Structure 1
Amino acid sequence: MTSYSLKPEHRQLVLVTSLGGFLELYDFAIYALMAGYIADQFFPNQDPYLSLLSSFATFSAGYLARPVGGIIFGHLGDRKGRKPVFVITILMMALPTALIGCLPVYAQIGVWAPVLLVTLRVIQGFSIGGEVPGAMTFLCETLEDRRGMVMALLFMSLVLGAVFGSMLHALLLDVLSKDAMNQWGWRFPFWLGGLFGIFSYLFRRRFQESRLFVQIYESQQRSRVPIKTLFKHFRMPLLCGFLMIVPIATSVPLLLLFTPGYLSHLLHYDPGDVALANALGGVCSSLVFLMMGLLSERFQTRTLLLLASWMLILSAWPIFGWLVNGTAHVILIMCLGSILRGGVAGIAPLTLASIFPVHVRYSGIAFCYNLSFALFSGITPILAIELIRVTGNMSSPAVFLVFGGLSGMLACIIMKRANVKNYFAES
């Protein structure tokens, strides 16, 4: 009979491992929420639109560095081991996050302020390229009998990182004046994020290498150049992996980060209701992650992903239509959207990890995950705003959910027709 709980030592392992994922979405959220302050301090301009656009462009620059970091850290992870790379990436995430909170602003050092900010964002993106794929690889190879559960917990931590960032922002707005927020209050979340990362680094140093990697290391079965091996022998898994992460890369920034501002500033919902709805939505999606993780231990992951993708497609236009109508109960609709987001995000990562063998798994996960996020996640909020401006249709952001759902469906179809192998079935 299956036990639905983890051993105490495994809980600690999952908690510390997941802190990197928590920090990724926490950083994503606080940068987006602090973008107005960062724009004023680092990109002063008479046109506030251009100033804010420069701030978000800097935000996107970090995402463009992710595929490079994924390739490099994936190579090292498949060649040298999961643990040493896994320890380095969290430290490389934590230090730039803390340093952003310490940077002098444009009024103090001129153009060097935005230059340093962009540099730190690129370093962050580079390290994130290896962090979450490393966590996925390490957990699914270390806790092999509860892969569905631990992968769900990992991605639950990502969403909770964004929820915590939003709650922290709300708290700061409540206790600090507008001037205090503009002068130094925006720095505090970055300092706290740095502390989270350093805490995780200190604990990760105690980890043991994954059993599956030790086996291929001892048997000399490692790939000399993992990324080359992937493109030579695993082209279909790479394509499927990229496509199945697109629903997460589009729905998470759209529903979790773009929608709050969209609802309060463009549709004029009450900001307090929107903040509460966003937080409750994060909790709802987290519960769905756990449900999908448990279901993956009984049903095929491809079937679950196909179902979740279908639900995302069918519900996209109704959700945004209800919101634009103005009569929707915002908390109910945001929770519904979060449940749909949780469906794809709760099963796609596990499916991704299953389609690559151990000797190229880190590299395969890193390439697919980072390429999807680099191409879609950083620019989705910007494109959503531009789409509304160009079309005049306030429901038009639903297009991104439909696109994500179609990508997930296509991944499932290709997996079946190309007979993409499930390597977890053999381990």
Structure 2
Amino acid sequence: MSNSTVNLSRDQLGLIFITSMGGFLELYDFIIYALMAPYIADQFFPGHDTYTSLLTTFATFSIGYLVRPLGGIVFGHLGDRFGRKPVFVATVLVMALSTFLMGCLPTYSQVGIWAPLMLVFLRILQGFSIGGEIPGAMTYLSETVDHRRGLVISLLFSALTNGILFGSLVNAFMLWWLPEDSMQEWGWRVPFWLGGTLGICSYIVRKHFQESGLFLQLVKHKTRSAVPLVQLLQRHRRELLTGVLLTAPGASCITLLFLFTPGYLTKILNYPDSDVALAGGIGIFFTSLVTIVAGHLADLLPVRRLLLAAYSFIVLSSVPVFYWYESGADVYLVMLFSGLMAGSLAGGLVTLSILFPVNVRYSGIAFCYNAGFALFGGLTPVIAMALIGWSNSLQAPAWYLMTSGGLGLLAAWRLPALHNAS
């Protein structure tokens, strides 16, 4: 489709909003753990020093990422075989319940080793759920509003990013509302209860969704894949590898710059808690705006060209960001620059929706998205802390971000000259 792309109708905007709101709440539920990491470390992983306690907490955070590919495989299969709608309903319900229960867990001082074990189990449920949620939203919207695919997918991820913003604002409010001892004792539970409650509301709304028209055509013509993952591995191996590498920079960038940094800045660099929380929220909101711009450009420009520019920017900007943090630069300005970095990567996510045919699209997107986030997002906090400990350099996390950007450049360079509308 040419640059004179048809505008989105009111009904289509409503559909995007409803679908995105579910993802908004899911991502809030998933990342609130990272934002509450300092308190969770004290309550569930008491250690002899802050470094060890925080490292263990982030390792548990990574478990939720690592289980996402399994959730993607299971829900991707169900979505390609039985429809997008029932998967939407199931994923948000599992996420809501597991998040609410996190806020109800006893602490290590109350039940000992059972406390971290129960926390790990609920993190696994969260990761399993989100493994099917976001790929399902990408698949559903790309099939329902396909004439502005770049803009539509970017609106979805803008909403998802604002789920992180909502978590940051809740965190900032809690820090303003409660003194430190109350946050340590019970205040950290409130964001989990809030996310679980809102997730139940999203579940009720999703029950009224209509099925994807393209999936109904697969059912009508009996062209559904019997085992989508097998077909992907047999016929689309190059696309799978390309999709995983294209996801890598976005996964590491979001995790490192917005989920890892609250604990990094407050516990290691001694930035004020309230400043970090507010600056993080501003940076995430800016990310959501840049994401929409990048998605709109993906409708107008060849995606390959857009990706090469975005990934080059990541590689060149990684070291300056962490140098600024260590030198005590204004945290608000650095977070805005981080938002520009993260938002510029929307083109890679748009590309996932055009790499695979309809009969294996859900499974293909789920595999690439979740494998990319598990390998390059979930391990990011652990690798970043390990790099700091190994090198004795507080700028060491930048090396990991540069590496992921380089992998994205390699994938984009090998990508065919796709246009989003093709």
Q: Fold match, TM over 0.5? A: yes
In the alignment, the residues of structure 1 paired with residue 49 and residue 338 of structure 2 have an alpha-carbon distance, to the nearest angstrom, of 34
Map 1:266-305 to 2 at 5 A.
266-305=268-307
Q: Secondary structure at the match of 1:296?
A: helix
For residues 80 and 170 of structure 1, do their structure 2 counterparts lie closer, same or farther at Cα, with a shift above 3 Å needed? same
Higher mean C-alpha deviation, range 406-415 or range 64-73: 406-415
Q: Secondary structure at the match of 1:354?
A: coil
For residues 273 and 151 of structure 1, do their structure 2 counterparts lie closer, same or farther at Cα, with a shift above 3 Å needed? same
Is 1:335 paired with 2:304? Answer: no
In the alignment, the residues of structure 2 paired with residue 201 and residue 158 of structure 1 have an alpha-carbon distance, to the nearest angstrom, of 16
- Superposition deviation, residue 78 in structure 1: 0.5
Deviations 1:218-259 (A, max 9, x none): 111111110000000000000100000000110001111222
Give the aligned residue type for 1:235: R
- Superposition deviation, residue 23 in structure 1: 2.9
In the alignment, the residues of structure 2 paired with residue 347 and residue 269 of structure 1 have an alpha-carbon distance, to the nearest angstrom, of 33
For residues 113 and 261 of structure 1, do their structure 2 counterparts lie closer, same or farther at Cα, with a shift above 3 Å needed? closer
Deviations 1:181-233 (A, max 9, x none): 22221111011111221111111111111111111111111111100000000
In the alignment, the residues of structure 2 paired with residue 342 and residue 181 of structure 1 have an alpha-carbon distance, to the nearest angstrom, of 32
Partner of 1:55: 57
For residues 368 and 423 of structure 1, do their structure 2 counterparts lie closer, same or farther at Cα, with a shift above 3 Å needed? same
Deviations 1:253-272 (A, max 9, x none): 11112223333443444544
Partner of 1:352: 352
For residues 34 and 4 of structure 1, do their structure 2 counterparts lie closer, same or farther at Cα, with a shift above 3 Å needed? farther
In the alignment, the residues of structure 1 paired with residue 104 and residue 115 of structure 2 have an alpha-carbon distance, to the nearest angstrom, of 11
Map 1:224-239 to 2 at 5 A.
224-239=226-241
Partner of 1:386: 386
- Superposition deviation, residue 36 in structure 1: 2.6
- Superposition deviation, residue 340 in structure 1: 1.4
Partner of 1:369: 369
Higher mean C-alpha deviation, range 96-105 or range 270-279: 270-279
Give the aligned residue type for 2:200: I
Structure 1 stretches lacking a partner, 5+ long: none
In the alignment, the residues of structure 1 paired with residue 344 and residue 380 of structure 2 have an alpha-carbon distance, to the nearest angstrom, of 19
In the alignment, the residues of structure 2 paired with residue 334 and residue 16 of structure 1 have an alpha-carbon distance, to the nearest angstrom, of 29
- Superposition deviation, residue 116 in structure 1: 1.7
For residues 151 and 187 of structure 1, do their structure 2 counterparts lie closer, same or farther at Cα, with a shift above 3 Å needed? same
Higher mean C-alpha deviation, range 230-239 or range 313-322: 313-322
In the alignment, the residues of structure 1 paired with residue 221 and residue 403 of structure 2 have an alpha-carbon distance, to the nearest angstrom, of 43
Give the aligned residue type for 2:331: V
The alignment's TM-score, normalised by the length of structure 2, stands at 0.93
Is 1:26 paired with 2:2? Answer: no
For residues 273 and 82 of structure 1, do their structure 2 counterparts lie closer, same or farther at Cα, with a shift above 3 Å needed? same
Contact residue 28 and residue 164 of structure 2 kept, 8 A: yes
Deviations 1:3-25 (A, max 9, x none): 78643332332222113332343
Contact residue 29 and residue 166 of structure 1 kept, 8 A: no
For residues 222 and 11 of structure 1, do their structure 2 counterparts lie closer, same or farther at Cα, with a shift above 3 Å needed? same
In the alignment, the residues of structure 1 paired with residue 367 and residue 30 of structure 2 have an alpha-carbon distance, to the nearest angstrom, of 20
In the alignment, the residues of structure 2 paired with residue 212 and residue 354 of structure 1 have an alpha-carbon distance, to the nearest angstrom, of 14
For residues 348 and 321 of structure 1, do their structure 2 counterparts lie closer, same or farther at Cα, with a shift above 3 Å needed? same
Give the aligned residue type for 1:85: V
Give the aligned residue type for 1:280: I
In the alignment, the residues of structure 2 paired with residue 110 and residue 258 of structure 1 have an alpha-carbon distance, to the nearest angstrom, of 27
Contact residue 285 and residue 341 of structure 1 kept, 8 A: yes
Partner of 2:155: 153
How many percent identity over aligned positions? 52
The alignment's TM-score, normalised by the length of structure 1, stands at 0.92
In the alignment, the residues of structure 2 paired with residue 4 and residue 173 of structure 1 have an alpha-carbon distance, to the nearest angstrom, of 45
Higher mean C-alpha deviation, range 353-362 or range 313-322: 313-322
Higher mean C-alpha deviation, range 184-193 or range 101-110: 101-110
Higher mean C-alpha deviation, range 5-14 or range 363-372: 5-14
Partner of 1:185: 187
- Superposition deviation, residue 122 in structure 1: 0.7
For residues 258 and 108 of structure 1, do their structure 2 counterparts lie closer, same or farther at Cα, with a shift above 3 Å needed? closer
In the alignment, the residues of structure 1 paired with residue 45 and residue 269 of structure 2 have an alpha-carbon distance, to the nearest angstrom, of 27
In the alignment, the residues of structure 2 paired with residue 422 and residue 78 of structure 1 have an alpha-carbon distance, to the nearest angstrom, of 25
Give the aligned residue type for 1:360: V
Contact residue 279 and residue 332 of structure 2 kept, 8 A: yes
Map 1:408-419 to 2 at 5 A.
408-416=408-416
Deviations 1:52-90 (A, max 9, x none): 333222222212211111101101111111111111111
In the alignment, the residues of structure 2 paired with residue 263 and residue 124 of structure 1 have an alpha-carbon distance, to the nearest angstrom, of 26
For residues 123 and 316 of structure 1, do their structure 2 counterparts lie closer, same or farther at Cα, with a shift above 3 Å needed? same
Contact residue 252 and residue 341 of structure 1 kept, 8 A: yes
**Of 93, 98, 101, which aligns to 1:99?**
101
Structure 2 stretches lacking a partner, 5+ long: none
Partner of 1:220: 222
In the alignment, the residues of structure 2 paired with residue 52 and residue 318 of structure 1 have an alpha-carbon distance, to the nearest angstrom, of 25
Partner of 1:253: 255
Is 1:85 paired with 2:104? Answer: no
Is 1:41 paired with 2:43? Answer: yes
In the alignment, the residues of structure 2 paired with residue 410 and residue 160 of structure 1 have an alpha-carbon distance, to the nearest angstrom, of 29
Contact residue 357 and residue 423 of structure 1 kept, 8 A: no
Deviations 1:99-123 (A, max 9, x none): 1112223333333222222111111
